[in-house]
Amino acid sequence: MSNAAHDENDRPTAICISMTDGTTIIPIKVNPTTHALHADNNTTGTDYGNNGGIAMLDENSVAVWTAESSDGSGNIVEIYGNSGVLINSN
């Protein structure tokens, strides 16, 4: 399992759930020069569920990124990624 890295003030970096299995925790990367977030513009794949509505935690109890569902249900959804965040730019 991958753990969130921490800054000099012990604040965690962003982690997501792997788009390949829905359970592996992966760190999210940015370009060190531009500070741009890496993204994977990919809307195909498998929905591995949402871990019962409970955000996965790394070994240090840091939660993966979550967001409110766009379907109007108010559900909280874990954000999938690869080394970047899975996005839909359409």
- What is the reported pLDDT for 83? 78
CB 48 within 8 A of CB 21: yes
Domain ranges of the chain: 1-90
Q: Along the chain (90 residues), what's the average pLDDT of each consecutive run of 10 residues? A: 89 92 91 92 77 89 92 91 82
- Predicted structure pTM score: 0.84
- What is the reported pLDDT for 13? 94
- What is the reported pLDDT for 61? 94
- What is the reported pLDDT for 43? 66
Among 29, 27, 30, 36, smallest CA distance to 62 is for 27
Query: What tokens were used for 63?
Result: 């939660």
